Structure 1
Amino acid sequence: MEELTIKNLEACFKNAKVLKQNFVAVRIEMEGFPKAEIIVNPIENADSKLAYYQKTYNENLNHKYAKGIKIVGFTFGEDMKEIQEDLAY
């Protein structure tokens, strides 16, 4: 997995499009929740979703407006199995 920075998240989304992958995904930890959630988006939503992450998360992928929320992983894949292999635990 890449270093957890907004620049590497941007690169992940770009590479997913260049490589014609079907999905992009992030794993997010939130205070008060025992397990992280995995958010999977179809590649067609990648540009809008990335714009949201750029606006909402700082350089170290901490949520700018809600303390205790952080992106702790990201990946892309052709299918859900690839996403699960990269982000599930």
Structure 2
Amino acid sequence: MTLSTLQNLQDCYEAALKNNASYIGIAVRIPNIDGAEVIINKTSNFEEKMNYYQKAYDENLKLKSNPDIQIVAFASGNSFDDIEKHLKLILQ
């Protein structure tokens, strides 16, 4: 996904479940950190993690408690390599 909104993130999770993806990777920009931090969520955690993101992040995927922290990209895949390839394309 290239458009970082809460709805797009939710759509990514739903598509990942529908397509039996094994993982979703979330790229997060954090102040004073070079590049983005990548968080990998496995299928069994999709629902719980999406509930967390809906509560903790606003519509533009900025952390409500610290808007300097933002989800900037996300992608699903069946391996960590898949996630890395997709996120590298998005973050270029």
TM-score, normalised by the number of residues in structure 1: 0.94
What is the alpha-carbon distance in structure 1 between the residues aligned to residue 12 and residue 87 of structure 2? 14
- Aligned-pair distance for 1:35? 2.0
- Aligned-pair distance for 1:2? 3.2
**Alignment partner of 1:23 is 2:23:** yes
What is the alpha-carbon distance in structure 1 between the residues aligned to residue 11 and residue 80 of structure 2? 20
Q: How do 1:63-78 and structure 2 match up within 5 A?
A: 63-78=63-78
In the TM superposition, structure 1's runs of 4+ consecutive aligned residues that sit over 4 Å from their partners are: none
- Aligned-pair distance for 1:67? 2.9
TM-score, normalised by the number of residues in structure 2: 0.91
Aligned pairs, number: 89
**Matching residue's letter, 2:51:** A
Question: Could you say what the CA RMSD is over the residues aligned between the two structures, in angstroms?
Answer: 1.1
What is the alpha-carbon distance in structure 2 between the residues aligned to residue 2 and residue 19 of structure 1? 19
Gaps of 5+ in 1: none
User: What percentage of aligned pairs have identical amino acids?
Assistant: 31
- Aligned-pair distance for 1:37? 0.4
Gaps of 5+ in 2: none
More strand by share: 2
**Matching residue's letter, 2:84:** Q
**Matching residue's letter, 2:81:** K
Matched residue of 2:39: which SS? strand
Superposed CA deviations along residues 6-40 of structure 1, whole A, max 9, x for unmatched, are: 00000000000000010011000011111210000
